[in-house]
Amino acid sequence: MMKKFALLVYPEFSLQEVMNLSRLFRWSYDICTEVISSGKDAVTSEEGISVLPQKTTDEFDPKDYACLILPGCSDLRAVLQDKKILDFLRSFAGNDTFPIGAICSGPLLLAWAGLLKEKKFTASIYMDFFDIFPFLEKENYVAAPSVVAGNIVTAGGSNFNGFAVEMAHLLGLECPDRIFSGYMDSWTPEDYDEHLPPEAVEEIKAEFAGVL
């Protein structure tokens, strides 16, 4: 087993969604987090914490890592304009063995790169996004806390504990289903069927008009 995994960061990424995963992997399996990004400049999370990437996406070699993790992002505008991130993610096209995990809005980035084509997935996104982002396949969206589709795990943002456990299982690691406290014990499909007000939909379409 590799002794590190890659955490891909971008402006306004969510640190809290992946910290339990980092803690689990470090203290239970001696697998440390290595932060990667499109450049070496500090990247500020949505919590306001600046993180310094250890490697760039150009330096990434999948043979050196156990898996790749994509956190959520509270403002997608910057990352969707980062061609290096897009090219990096597209480099995994056709790779059905390297483990990848994405949580909250992170799955949207996988879809953007074509990695979720014809794959079941979940995410923390508004249903209106399927009309805004043409690369999101509504027919493959699953209203559930987490979804495992081959080598890819996707999860809703509130299921950060379950996400960590699913990634451990994907890597073949022995991990109890309830190693943390705080799980998604009570949920319904309606919890994953949120919509924006019409005026917000138009505002988002206008904001991303020059990006997509």
**Do the domain assignments include residue 212?**
no
State the Cα–Cα distance between residues 186 and 205, nearest whole angstrom.
33
Q: What pLDDT, on the 0 to 100 scale, is given for residue 2? A: 67
**pLDDT class for 64, splitting at 50, 70, 90?**
very high
Q: What pLDDT, on the 0 to 100 scale, is given for residue 101? A: 99
**pLDDT class for 167, splitting at 50, 70, 90?**
very high
Position with higher pLDDT, 206 vs 187: 206
Q: What pLDDT, on the 0 to 100 scale, is given for residue 181? A: 67
**Do the domain assignments include residue 65?**
yes
Q: What are 137-144's contacts with CB under 8 Å, separation 24+?
A: 137/111, 140/116, 143/189, 143/190, 143/191, 143/192, 143/193, 144/187, 144/189, 144/192
Helices (H), the chain: 16-29, 83-90, 106-112, 129-132, 160-170, 198-207
State the Cα–Cα distance between residues 135 and 61, nearest whole angstrom.
27
Most confident of 34-43, 171-180, 193-202: 34-43
**Do the domain assignments include residue 179?**
yes
**Do the domain assignments include residue 36?**
yes
The total domain count for the chain is: 1
Q: What pLDDT, on the 0 to 100 scale, is given for residue 190? A: 85
Look up the CATH number of the domain holding residue 61.
3.40.50.880
